[in-house]
Structure 1
Amino acid sequence: MKSLNDRQARVDLLEKGILAAARKWDHIRPAYKPYVDGLENLPADGRFLIVGNHTAVASTEIGLILYEVQRHLGIRVRALMDRQFGKLKGFPAEFLAAGGGIVGEPCAAGELMSANEPILVFPGGGREIAKARDELYTLLWGDRAGFARLAAEYDYPIVTAAVVGGDDVYKILTSRDGVWSRVSGRASELLSGRTDMAIQLMRGIGPTLVPRPQRLYARFSAPIDTTRPADVAAEDWVATIRAKTKSTLESDLAELQEIRAGDPFRNLAPWSWGAAVMPPASAAAQSTSATHTEGDVVQ
C-alpha cells in the first residue's frame, strides 16, 4: 500500500509540473502561432471522444490537442495509449499517467465514458506513426472500429481532430514497399512481434536529425452524433460511425494541407515568428461553413 501511495504522490507531483509547463507555454504560443480552428465545436460539458490522426512525430499532435482543449475548456483530456505502453515501468509509466494517459482497453475507455470525461484516441495506433514517404497524412486504421463501437454503446459524441505539420518535421526517405522497410519490418517482428512497425529512414535539417521547424495546423470538427436509430442494426451503425469519422478526418486533413501549401510561413523558423500571420481558410473550408466555423481561428 505504501508503494502505491508513493507512486501516486510522484504522479501528482509530475502532473503539477506538466500543468506548470503548460501555463508557461501560454506565453510562447503567440510567437509560435499554430493554426487552430473549430475549438468552438467542442461540447462545453466535456463529454466527447476526440479521434485524431498520428503523424511521424506523434508528440506534436498529442501535445497540441491536449493543450488546446485544456486551454479552451479548462479540462484535462484522457488520452488512450497503445497497449505496448502498458508494459512501461518506473518514471516513463508515471509520466504518462501524470499526463492523463491510460492504456486503451475497452473497459478502461468505458469507465471514462461512464464518468463523462473527454477522451482522445488515435485508431491508427503505432502503425500510423511508422509511416513511409508514400503514406504521409493517410489514416492507417486497418479494420479497427473499437472507438466507434464504444461511442455508439455510450452515445458519446465524436469530434475529429485533424493535425498537419508533424509529417513534415522530418523528411521521410524510404517507401513502404522498399528494401529498407522490408528489412526493418522483419527486425521489428523479431524484436516486438509486430510486423507493422518498420522504422523509416529520415532526416531533419540537412543530413542531421535536428527537427525542421514547421507550423502546425489543426481543426476540430463539429460533433458527430453516435446515437443509434432504432431501425439500424448495431454493427451497421458502428460501420456508419467509423466511415463518417474517417471521412470527416480525411476531408479536414486535405483542407489543412491546402491551407498549409498556401502559407508562406509554413516553415516557421524562429526568426520569422514576429512577422508570421495566420493563413486564410481554404476555399473548401469556406464553402462548407455550415459544418466548420472557420472564422474563429485562434491567434
Structure 2
Amino acid sequence: MSDIEIPIEDFRPPSLRTMARVTALQRRYFAATLEGAENVDPQRPGLFVGNHALMGVLDSPLFVYELYRQTGVFPRSLGDHFHFPTPVWGKLVTRFGAVPGTRENCRRLMESGQHVLVFPGGAREVAKRRDEINKLVWKKRTGFVYMAIEQGFDIIPFASLGCDEAYDIVYDGDDFANGWLGKRLLGNDKVNSLMRGGDLFMPLVKGIGPTLLPKAEPFHFSIGKPIPTAHLQGQENDPAVLWQLREQVSDAITSMLSSMDEARKAQPRPLWRKVLGARKH
C-alpha cells in the first residue's frame, strides 16, 4: 500500500500550538465553533462518529483542533486507503494521526486506549451529489458499530455543518455515470473497480464566483451525548443489533445537523461574509 511508516500504539500527537498554526487561516476564514465539548470524557476513550463533508478536507482539521483545544483529546482518524500512498499527502495525514481504516488498525487503537474518529460515509460521502448536501451517505455500513461493541467503546456522535455549502456542485457523480464518457469508463471492469463503481468521482465544484476559493460560510460543530455499547458486548455479530445501533447514531447526527441549521438562521452575518458568498439566512 505504502512505504510510509504508520505508528499505531506509539503515536505522539502534534502540539496544540502546531495545530493552531496549521489551521490559523482556516479558523479565521470559517469562524469555526464547537458545542458539546462537555460530552467528552478525556479519561474514557471513545469512538467519534460523524458526517463527512463535501470535499472532506476543509472542516475535519478544524473539528480536530477545536476538540483538542477544548478537551485535550486528539483522536486518531481512520482514513480511506487511497490517502496513504499519495506522495506528500500520505505523510501529512499520517503525521496528524490518521491510519488506514481497517478493523485491525481500529482494534489496535482501541486496545491501546486511544480515542478514535471515523466517518462511516468515507470517500463516497465526500463525493456528494447535489441532493446530498448536509445528509449522511453511509450505504449499509455497520463496521464502526461492530468495532465499538466488540471493544465496549462509547460512540460519541458529532455533526459538521457549513462545509457542504462552501462550494456549489457543478457536475457530480450522477452526471458522470449517466454521461457518454462515464458509461464508457465505468463499463470497463478495471476502471469501474478503481473508481468503486463511480463512488470515487469527485464532483466539479465552484466557490466564490467561478473560482475554487471556498465561500466564507461559517462552520459549526456539535458533539452529542455518548452512546454506550458495553452492554452489547458479545452481540457484535448480530445484524439486527448492529443496524439498530447504527440507526441510533445516524439519528443523533441528523438531529444535531437540524438543530444547528435552525440556530444559525438567527445568527447575523457580517457584510464581508455575504460578499464572499456565505448564505444570507
Name the count of aligned residue pairs.
263
Structure 1 vs Structure 2 CA RMSD: 3.4
Report the CA distance shift for 1:229/1:257 in structure 2 as closer, same or farther (over 3 A). Answer: same
- When structure 1 is superposed on structure 2, of 122-131 and 234-243 the one drifting more is 234-243
1:129 aligns with 2:126: yes
User: Which residue number in structure 2 is paired with residue 39 of structure 1?
Assistant: 37
Structure 2 residue matching 1:269: 3-state secondary structure: helix
Say if 1:213 and 1:267, in contact at 8 Å, map to a contact too: no
Q: Equivalent residues in 2 for 1:157-196 (5 A)?
A: 157-174=154-171, 177=174, 179-183=175-179, 186=183, 187=185, 190=191, 192-195=194-197, 196=199
1:83 aligns with 2:84: no
Aligned 8 A contact 1:164 1:216 in 2: yes
1:201 has 2:204 as partner: yes
Are positions 1:246 and 2:234 aligned together? no
C-alpha displacement of 1:20: 4.0
* CA separation of 1:44 and 1:20: change in aligned 2, threshold 3 A: closer
2:196 maps to amino acid: R
Are residue 52 (structure 1) and residue 56 (structure 2) matched?
Answer: no
Conservation of the 8 A alpha-carbon contact between 1:214 and 1:268: no
| Equivalent-residue separation in structure 2 for 1:170 and 1:43 (angstroms) | 34
How far residue 255 of structure 1 moved from its aligned partner, in angstroms, is: 1.4
1:221 — aligned with what?
Answer: 224
1:141 alignment partner in structure 2: 138
Give the distance between the partners of 2:31 and 2:119, measured in 1 at CA: 24
Q: Which is worse superposed, 167-176 or 25-34?
A: 25-34
Report the 3-state secondary structure (helix = DSSP H, G, I; strand = E; otherwise coil) of the residue aligned with 1:242. Answer: helix
In 1, distance between residues paired with 2:46 and 2:231? 16
Contact 2:4 2:91 in 1 (8 A): no
Secondary structure of the residue that 2:58 maps to in structure 1? Answer: helix
Distance 2:265 2:4 in 1: 50
Offset at residue 209 of structure 1 (A): 1.6
TM-score, structure 2 length as denominator?
Answer: 0.80
Preserved contact between residue 215 and residue 268 of structure 1 (Cα < 8 Å): no
Secondary structure, aligned partner of 2:136:
coil
Q: 1:126 to 1:265 in 2, by over 3 A?
A: same
The reply to whether residue 261 of structure 1 matches residue 265 of structure 2 is yes
Cα distance in 1 for residues equivalent to 2:256 and 2:63:
15
- In structure 1, what is the Cα distance between the partners aligned to 2:121 and 2:206? 23
Alignment partner, residue 103 of structure 2: 106
Going from structure 1 to structure 2, the CA distance change for 1:128 and 1:32 (only over 3 Å counts) comes to: closer
Cα distance between partner residues in 2 of 1:208 and 1:4: 34
Structure 1 equivalent of residue 214 of structure 2: 211
Over 3 Å counting, the alpha-carbon distance change for 1:181 and 1:226 in structure 2 is same
For residue 67 of structure 2, what is the aligned residue in structure 1? 69
Q: Any stretches of 5+ residues in structure 2 without a counterpart?
A: none
Q: What CA deviation, in whole Å up to 9, does each residue of 1:244-292 have, x standing for no partner?
A: 00110111111122223333328873999xxxxxx9xxxxxxxxxxxxx
Q: Note closer, same or farther for the CA distance 1:267–1:163 as it changes in structure 2 (3 Å cut).
A: farther
Are the aligned partners of 1:185 and 1:197 in contact in 2 as well (CA < 8 Å)? no
Which secondary structure state, in structure 2, belongs to the residue aligned with residue 241 of structure 1? helix
1:175-216 per-residue CA deviation (whole Å, 9 max, x = no partner) reads 664x44534755477272412223323211112222111100
Distance 1:107 1:268, change over 3 A: farther
Letter in 1 for 2:136: L
TM-score normalised over the length of structure 1: 0.76
